[in-house]
């Protein structure tokens, strides 16, 4: 009984192991390579799969999701013989599990070495300044070479990124000084532009202010001229409507005479000849008044035969008639024309 029991137990264990090896569950976004007697048979996709136990063997499981692999910094020499350290990151995805398994021994290591060599070839044809400012060009060049080389491995390179480009320490100091100088230059340019714009705006404002001021003064001058013209027109019409005679004009001349003598620097002033003519008319008016009884009620003596009659022109209408001028012997002499007498007067 005991040997039979042992055989049954062994058969049960073997059957259980065979059942376990027969059923293969592949997770999502994964694949498995099946070999039969060491030869590739098929690729297992996600889900429940049945294989022949002890005949079929699952070699490895491959993740079909996009992978991110950072590579350590690699020293690269530029065209101007400067050594820079470049960190790279590769985004790849397995598209053919069979090719990724059988076409290359280790596709991760192969991608890393291909990235380093391609990066050195690209950077070697560029100077330091182009290397620092042309990351997109370097990324595109790397991706093109890697896509072409890894396509037969069943690998698709989606992106290649440069994490950092570190030039030598001495070059970094020089670059910092250059960048600081460039910033100072840009700041000075911006400050100058701001001051220039401010001066332009200020000049424009002053120009507009002067233009408005000139326009205002012009309008004010026009209004003043219109007002003076209206005033002159009104006075002229009033004079003509009132029928002014010579006596009124002479009186206006007398009122204007004190205005001519105003001022501390006036030593000599000239009287227009029209003033003398006006005074003649005014003197004739007062003479007519004295001939009809006189201003003070007295009569005027008749002129002597020896001396011709002189026209009496009072300097002040309220002071009455002025006596005739006489010479040293007491004889009357002709009086000087008041118009000529008033033509040149020294206030002192």
- Give the chain's mean pLDDT: 76
pLDDT in the model for residue 137: 87
Q: pLDDT at residue 138 above 70? A: yes
Tens-place pLDDT, residues 152-199: 899 998 888 888 888 877 777 777 788 888 888 999 999 999 999 999
- Range 67-167 classified under CATH 3.50.50.60: no
DSSP summary character for residue 326: B
Total Cβ atoms within 10 A of residue 307:
15
Q: Where are the domains of the chain?
A: 2-62, 67-167, 248-295+308-345
Contacts of 333 (CB under 8 A, 6+ apart): 307, 310, 324, 325, 326, 327
Is the model's pLDDT at 311 over the cut of 60? Answer: no
Q: Minimum mean pLDDT among 71-80, 86-95, 273-282, 301-310: which range?
A: 301-310
Task: Read off the tokens for 331.
Answer: 């004889």
Q: Three-state DSSP class for 290?
A: helix
Rounded CA separation 17/266 (Å): 142
142-154 pLDDT, tens digit per residue, is 888 888 888 889 9
Residue 233's SS3 state is helix
Residue carrying the six token digits 């008044």: 289
Q: What is the pLDDT of residues 95-133, one digit of tens each?
A: 999 999 998 888 889 998 998 899 889 888 888 888 888
Which DSSP state fits 298?
P
For residue 105, what are the CA distances in angstroms to 3, 108, 230, 298?
Answer: 49, 9, 114, 157
Write phi, then psi, for 64 (nearest 5 degrees).
Answer: -90, 0
Among 19, 54, 52, smallest CA distance to 42 is for 52
């Amino acid at each position: 009984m005991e040997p039979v029991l042992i055989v049954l137990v062994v058969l049960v264990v073997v059957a259980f192991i065979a059942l376990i090896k027969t059923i293969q569950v592949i997770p999502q976004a994964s694949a498995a390579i099946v070999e039969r007697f060491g030869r590739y048979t098929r690729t297992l996709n996600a889900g429940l799969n049945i294989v022949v136990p002890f005949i079929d063997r699952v070699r490895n499981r491959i993740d079909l999701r996009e992978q991110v692999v950072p590579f350590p910094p690699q020293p690269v020499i530029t065209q101007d013989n400067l050594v820079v350290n470049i960190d790279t990151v590769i985004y790849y995805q397995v598209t053919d599990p069979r090719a990724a398994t059988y076409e290359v021994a280790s596709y991760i290591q192969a991608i890393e070495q291909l990235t380093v060599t391609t990066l050195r070839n690209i950077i070697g044809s560029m100077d330091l300044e182009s290397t620092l400012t042309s990351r997109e060009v370097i990324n595109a060049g790397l991706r093109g070479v890697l896509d072409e080389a890894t396509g037969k491995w069943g690998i698709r390179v989606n992106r290649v990124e440069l994490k950092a480009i570190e030039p030598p320490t001495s070059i970094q100091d020089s670059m910092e000084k250059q960048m600081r100088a460039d910033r100072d230059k840009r700041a000075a340019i911006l400050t100058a532009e701001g001051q220039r714009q401010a001066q332009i705006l200020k000049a424009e404002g002053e120009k507009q202010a002067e233009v408005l001021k000139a326009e205002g003064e012009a309008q004010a001058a026009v209004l003043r001229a219109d007002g003076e013209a209206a005033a002159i027109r009104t006075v002229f019409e009033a004079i003509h409507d009132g029928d002014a005679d010579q006596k009124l004009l002479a009186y206006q001349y007398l009122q204007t005479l004190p205005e001519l003598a105003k001022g501390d620097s006036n030593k000599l002033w000239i009287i227009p000849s029209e003033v003398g003519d006006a005074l003649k008319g005014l003197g004739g008016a007062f003479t007519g008044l004295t001939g009809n009884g006189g201003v003070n009620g007295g009569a005027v003596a008749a002129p002597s035969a020896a001396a011709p009659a002189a026209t009496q022109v009072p300097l002040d209408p309220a002071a009455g008639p002025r006596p005739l001028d006489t010479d040293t012997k007491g004889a009357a002499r002709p009086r000087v024309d008041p118009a000529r007498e008033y033509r040149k007067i020294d206030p002192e």
